[in-house]
Amino acid sequence: MTSPVSADLFARAQQVIPSGVNSPVRAFGSVGGTPPFLTEAAGALLRDADGTEYVDLVGSWGPMILGHANPQVVEAVREAAGRGLSFGAPQPGEVSLAEEVTRRIGPVEQLRLVNSGTEATMSALRVARAATGRDVIVKFAGCYHGHVDALLAEAGSGVATFAMPGSAGVTAATAKDTVVLPYGDREAVSALFAERGGEIAAVITEAAPANMGVVPPREEDGVGFNRFLAETAHAAGALLISDEVLTGFRASREGYYGVDGPTGAEDAWAPDLMTFGKVIGGGLPVGAFGGREDLMALLAPAGPVYQAGTLSGNPLATAAGLATLSGLDEAAYEVLGSASRTLQQMVAEALTTAGVPHVVQTAGTLFSVFFREEPVHSYADAKAQDTEAFTRFFHAMLEGGIYLPPSAFEAWFVSTAHTPEVLDRIAEALPRAARAAAQ
Ligand code: PLP
């Protein structure tokens, strides 16, 4: 496929933007080739600067859960824009958005809005350290929590895509306070708490890891991994931060907490703090962190933890987030679930027919495809997949007009605009891509 306009834009971009992109995975570094420069999107479809149309399975990495340019969301933003772009002062939309989130997600008693998932996790760590008076943060290999210094060690997403151990520029002092454990390894968690429990401020985990591909937490003796983490942390006076930036409002109406949260009063457990992003902003820059009221009360101005933002609670962003959450009713989750299941089956069938080892893993309506036979339970498992087969598959899909995440370590994102007709277009492209993967 030749894309002269995108190629020219990429060449120009590389002159003035590092690697030509504003976020690493967009550069197609691990799959090679020129990224299409996108100019328009509607529903499940994208158009690039050369006029080529694609079915989108990236969804801007999650936010576009109602499809692109959803009329209700666009109208809400247009209407808000007409009343002023930013006030830097309280405005009604922030209240409505926080009320909607606290209604949906039990453990969130109070919520503060920020501008990205990174800001949300960064701020949650600060609150956890202030609340406990401790420094150490425990994270899991393969979990990505944004580009927060303390959380870049063995992170997923772009850090996994480019096989980086972490990031240069993070001080030794910062890295020293982060302990990285293998995901799902209860013995390692218990051993660490036995040895250093009194130093640990918080454990942070993706509610269901989805930045090394989708790796749902597993139950043991009827106790899910997230609940085990909450109980282990609480027994040592530490906190659990559940990162739902990616799974929030996507894995289910209540995010992944709606999938593995308590089933009754006797089963009660909750993370202390939760973080959100992506869907909560409907495509505009919004993140949020929230949780127990006594913890959130630590924030300035009432409390001693400083946290702020010129554009936080921006009226356009809250309008887009509210319109998106309003569109996410039970019927929308059924459409999403059905599109996700159909696509999973189609991909599995095509890869099986072509004899390509693969495993599809899900967390609620979220899923990803690993190019290996055995299930993936950890980052080490995720890395032991055939990324070259993925690369061949990726390029054949792109040639067939299907825009996949350009990395074997990312989830695939469907939207309520992925209608049966759209899925048929994906079905047409799959057999050739599966054969390419098999070569
Ligand atoms: N946490 C998780 C689980 C994420 O998936 C991401 C982004 O992919 C982030 C945090 C960071 O969010 P942002 O890219 O908005 O800073």
Q: How far is the CA of 431 from the centre of ligand 1 (A)?
A: 32
Of 318, 277, 346, residue with least CA distance to 117: 277
| Secondary structure class of 246 (helix, strand, coil) | coil
Between strands 402-403 and 366-370, the pairing is unpaired
Q: How far is the CA of 302 from the centre of ligand 1 (A)?
A: 28
Distance CA 267, CA 333 (A): 25
Q: How far is the CA of 255 from the centre of ligand 1 (A)?
A: 15
Residue 285 CA, closest ligand 1 atom number: 15
| Active-site amino acid positions | 144, 243, 278
What pLDDT, on the 0 to 100 scale, is given for residue 417?
98
What pLDDT, on the 0 to 100 scale, is given for residue 16?
98
The model's pLDDT over 73-84, given as tens digits with 9 standing for 90+, comes to 999 999 999 999
Distance CA 370, CA 213 (A): 7
What pLDDT, on the 0 to 100 scale, is given for residue 170?
87
Nearest protein Cα to ligand 1, atom 11: 146
The model's pLDDT over 106-145, given as tens digits with 9 standing for 90+, comes to 999 999 999 999 999 999 999 999 999 999 999 999 999 9
What pLDDT, on the 0 to 100 scale, is given for residue 275?
98
Instruction: Give the helix/strand (H/E) hosting 433.
Output: helix 420-438
Distance CA 399, CA 216 (A): 31
Distance CA 209, CA 379 (A): 10
What pLDDT, on the 0 to 100 scale, is given for residue 155?
76
This prediction's pTM: 0.97
Residue 116 CA, closest ligand 1 atom number: 15
CB 117 within 8 A of CB 287: yes
Distance CA 57, CA 342 (A): 14
Nearest protein Cα to ligand 1, atom 9: 146
Q: How far is CA 166 from CA 16, 63, 175, 178, 365, in A?
A: 25, 26, 10, 12, 30
ipTM: 0.99
Nearest protein Cα to ligand 1, atom 10: 145
DSSP conformation letters of 269-306: ---SEEEE-GGGGBTBS-EEEEE-HHHHTTBTTTSSB-
Q: How far is the CA of 118 from the centre of ligand 1 (A)?
A: 6
Q: How far is the CA of 22 from the centre of ligand 1 (A)?
A: 15
What pLDDT, on the 0 to 100 scale, is given for residue 187?
98
HSE of 194, CA atoms in CB hemisphere, 13 A: 6
Which residues lie with the beta carbon below 6 Å from any ligand 1 atom?
61, 116-118, 121, 144-146, 157, 206, 211, 243, 245-246, 277, 287
Distance CA 206, CA 215 (A): 10
Per-residue pLDDT of the chain (439 residues; tens, 9 = 90+): 679 999 999 999 999 999 999 999 999 988 999 999 999 999 999 999 999 999 999 999 999 999 999 999 999 999 999 999 999 999 999 999 999 999 999 999 999 999 999 999 999 999 999 999 999 999 999 999 999 998 987 777 776 666 666 788 888 888 899 999 999 999 999 999 999 999 999 999 999 999 999 999 999 999 999 999 999 999 999 999 999 999 999 999 999 999 999 988 788 999 999 999 999 999 999 999 999 999 999 999 999 999 999 999 999 999 999 999 999 999 999 999 999 999 999 999 999 999 999 999 999 999 999 999 999 999 999 999 999 999 999 999 999 999 999 999 999 999 999 999 999 999 999 999 999 999 8
Nearest protein Cα to ligand 1, atom 5: 246
What pLDDT, on the 0 to 100 scale, is given for residue 393?
98
CB 382 within 8 A of CB 215: yes
Angle at 57 between CA 209 and CA 281, to 5 degrees: 65
Q: Indicate the burial class of 23 (C-beta count within 10 angstroms; 0-12, 13-18, 19 or more).
A: exposed
What residue ranges define each of the domains in the chain, with the CATH number in brackets?
A: 4-65+329-438 (3.90.1150.10), 71-327 (3.40.640.10)
